[in-house]
Amino acid sequence: SGGRDVRILEVGPRDGLQNIKTLVPTPTKVELIERLAAAGLRDIEATSFVSPKWVPQLADGAEVMRQIRPLTHAQPGDGDRRFPVLAPNPKGLENAMKSDAKEVVIFASASQAFSKANQNCTVDEALAQAESVARKALPQGIAVRGVVSCIFADPYSGPTKPQEVEYVVKRLLDMGCYEVSLGDTLGVGTPYDTQLLLEYLLRDTPARLLAGHFHDTYGQAVANVARAYDLGLRTFDSSVAGLGGCPYAVGAKGNLATEDIVYMFDRMGVNTGVDLDKLVETGDWISQQLGRPNGSRAGSALVAK
């Protein structure tokens, strides 16, 4: 895609912000998305269409989508950008469609306890909701992406079996997801765990249908991306300034910082299409806006230079 060797899907405006207690003003969210797009990111998760009672921070999703229309409805040639939004159930899809979203994200946990905590239902019930979203979205030309959570462990019930991950991955692909992202929601997995799981999944599922979504609680996320890259994955989710965490995964820290993998890929000669300087500026800016330390190691180092 346009000379890019890897595709980085920026999740900061969604995964990054969803867990922040004080409401971030809508104009700040919009400016964040604009800055990320200007830094060269082509895939930016813009918001969620979930219950505002469950995730109050993203209750302004429709307004965010309205204000980023110049980006989402850009003229051909302005860059092939995509702004996926979370829509786990038909109500979410309905709202996403009112906002003219062209890509939705459906999700399910590989483990039962997190499914209950995050979506108030069993894994199979979440998959049934996801399937009804896919059934309605696909004929309208809306792309559907899947995410599976808790690939290594569940905050309530411990380790996840690779069979449980594979079950959700296959169901999501069967219902028409163009790709499924593998979420280490807790950020506990090591490169060794990543390799074992990927070797298991890749027996049956081509690498081009999989992406990595690593949280960085234990500082393993960059290493996990490097290992997954070596095993053939070419799409990774990350969050500017390492913002993030899931409100229903207590203790889980931020996402992998986008700056950290762009730095790594730049030094490997792997083209991400992202301008690291602009990205670092954006990470520094949003950290200041939110009054929190910059969670990106590469970002902090480069800002200090």
| Chain residues that interact with ligand HMG, rule: CB under 6 A | 15, 18, 48-51, 54-55, 86, 88-89, 91-92, 95, 107, 118-120, 147, 149, 183, 185, 213, 215, 246, 248
Could you confirm whether 246 is annotated as catalytic? yes
Closest separation between CB of residue 192 and Mg ion, Å? 21
Tell me the torsion sign for CA atoms 208, 147, 144, 270: negative
How far apart, in whole angstroms, are the C-alpha atoms of residue 205 and residue 198?
9
- 134: which 2 tokens? 């896919």
* Contact between residue 294 and residue 300 where contact means Cβ atoms under 8 Å apart: yes
Least CB distance to ligand HMG at residue 45 (A): 9
Among the listed ranges 13-21, 31-39, 80-88, 113-121, the one in contact with Mg ion (CB under 5 A) is 13-21
Q: Within 10 Å of residue 13's Cβ, how many Cβ atoms?
A: 29
3-state secondary structure of 261: helix
By a kind-dependent CB cut-off of 5 to 8 A, residue 280 interacts, out of ligand HMG, Mg ion, none, with none
- At CA 224, angle to CA 38 and CA 261, rounded to 5? 20
Nearer to Mg ion by Cβ, of 144 and 302: the residue is 144
Interaction partner, residue 265 (ligand HMG, Mg ion, none; CB < 5-8 Å by kind): none
Q: Which amino acid is at 236?
A: F
Q: Are 299 and 283 in contact (CB under 8 A)?
A: yes
15 binds Mg ion (CB under 5 A): yes
First to last CA, the chain: 32
Q: What minimum distance in Å lies between the beta carbon of 183 and Mg ion? A: 5
Q: Smallest distance from the beta carbon of 17 to ligand HMG, in angstroms?
A: 11
Nearer Cβ to ligand HMG, position 89 or 300? 89
Residue 245 tokens, joined: 């965490």
Whichever of 184 and 259 has its CB closer to ligand HMG, that residue is: 184
Instruction: Please list the active-site residues.
Output: 246
Binding site for Mg ion (CB under 5 A): 15
